[in-house]
Structure 1
Amino acid sequence: MFDAELIRSSLTKIQTALDRILKRSETILTPDDFLMTSSGVERLESICMLLIAIGESVKRIDNATNKTLLPQYPEIDWKGRI
């Protein structure tokens, strides 16, 4: 049996992080927008940290489901070995 509360909490955190990424990248039109100002670099760093948090949440969900979640999506390179 899976820990439904842990999974629900992780999914909520993922949704919150995705919402923040969308909000923080609204004004970004080109990759250079991240690099041309210090606030752009800070925004990039912030988004990277959120992506890392999403990855950790996905791992937590996979562990909570006894590693049965990620194998259901073999088209995704979960290990980053492209």
Structure 2
Amino acid sequence: MSDPDLLRQRLQDVLTALERIPRHVADISHPDDFLSGETGQGHMDAICMILIAAGEAFKRIDKKTDGKLFARYPQVEWRRAIGLRDVLAHGYFDIDIEQLYAVCRERIPALIETLRKMIEDLQYDQMP
């Protein structure tokens, strides 16, 4: 598999994972719902794991493409997406649930759409 194929596959893997977040947050109507029982906590755990994995993948993709790929899609705050991985991984017990809720509701849908566009664009562009 070529580098462009691997890049598309990694982006597809991240997209598939991120597409699960709206299902996890569907039952969460308020940030406090993340802390109200096993179900809310389970949703929060799953969302955090997905965001950690996505952030790590973004970090590796950014390094592999020398920052050029993400520069083509400035509508996403890539540095913040990558940084969120570190916040969640190293400060899990101090997560701001209101910020996590806002990310899920406000940022993830746009990120999903951008990733779809990136994958489509990479079908025709052999960049890494």
TM-score (norm 2): 0.53
Task: Give the fraction of aligned pairs with identical amino acids, expressed as a percent.
Answer: 40
Output aligned runs, 1:1-82, within 5 Å: 3-71=3-71, 73=74, 76=77, 78=79, 80=83
TM-score (norm 1): 0.77
Q: For residues 61 and 49 of structure 2, what CA distance do their matches in structure 1 show?
A: 18
Gaps of 5+ in 2: 84-128
- Summarize deviations over 1:4-55 as a string: whole Å, max 9, x none: 0221111111111111111111111001111111121111011000001111
Question: Deviation above 2 Å: which 4+ runs of structure 1?
Answer: 66-73
Report the CA distance between 1:77 and its aligned residue: 6.4
Q: For residues 51 and 6 of structure 2, what CA distance do their matches in structure 1 show?
A: 19
Amino acid at match of 1:10: R
TM-align CA RMSD: 2.3
Amino acid at match of 1:33: D
Residues 13 and 77 (structure 1), Cα distance of their counterparts in 2 relative to 1, 3 Å cut? closer
Greater helix content: 2
How many residue pairs get matched?
A: 79
Query: Counterpart of 1:46 in 2: which secondary structure?
Result: helix
Gaps of 5+ in 1: none
